[in-house]
Amino acid sequence: MVGWFVDAHAHASAVGLGYEDVVRRFRAAGGRLIVLVQLNPGSYGLSESLEGVARSLEAHVSLCNRVKREYGGVLCLGGLHPATVDKLLRASGNPVETYRRLESEYVGRLESLLREGLIDGLGEFGRPHFPTMPESWAANELLLLRALEVARDANAVVHVHSENAGLLTLESLRVFVERAGVSRERVLVHHAPPSHAHLYAEEGFYVSVVGKSRAVGELGSECSNVLVESDYLDDPRRPGAVMYPWDIEREVSRAVEDGLLTSKCAERVLRENPSVYYGITA
């Protein structure tokens, strides 16, 4: 199978291969569009603090827009990973005040960056996928709701990171989306289990699954509203995790060759669906 493809959700850091190398390798492999999502402060050599989070956003915006101008085929998303929120609240002597600052200052900055065209969407926001203290769970839900409201006003995409509880996760996400008044077509459930993809698609949400052959092979014929991601971490401690962006097309092709995925579904998840979701024109 030959043709261009999209990586719906990936990362680049300042301590790994770096933004330039990641995008250059992706484009050389035939990648048409890679969506680079902000990492935690440590990935930019910064401390896990309110100041470090703010500085990591500015570093991501600067580095991402640089490769966007130089290579093209890049979208830049800014957000606040639930694990980062968790760390900030655990280290804080006043979790309520920490949440308030994140909601007003940090999300406010994201709103400004969207207006200025310096980011193309929000991500990732959501809930922890690990046991945590109640304050972290509640704060992350409130930040997700605020991010959905900002996405609504800017008509921007938003990537959601959450636990994988199937119908229960779907039902709770539906509540947040309806409360925020944002279109489900702008919401992407990131790194979802392939077996859950149809649950979200049937409700009008988009979903991204890791582009390894075994994962996409589990989709069967359920490829509506499904995108493929590498979720590449660019972490020198874990080379190649979760997978390399430039391996996506090869892995999906392998699933087709092994009879796990139809060529039609491969076309949809690699090109057609992301073209609709991200507004890619020919």
d(CA 207, CA 188): 5
Q: What residue spans define the domains of the chain? A: 5-278
Cα–Cα distances in Å, from 230 out to 31, 52, 219, 251?
12, 26, 16, 11
The predicted pLDDT at position 221 comes to 80
Q: For 192-244, write each residue's pLDDT tens digit.
A: 999 999 999 999 999 999 999 999 999 988 899 999 999 999 999 999 999 99
pLDDT value of residue 234 = 98
What is the pLDDT, as a whole number, of residue 150? 98
148 pLDDT higher than 90 = yes
Topology at the third CATH level for domain 5-278: TIM Barrel (3.20.20)
What does the pLDDT read at residue 220? 81
CB 234 within 8 A of CB 13: yes
CB environment 13-37: b (16+ within 10 A), e (fewer):
bbebbebeebbbebbebebbbbbbb
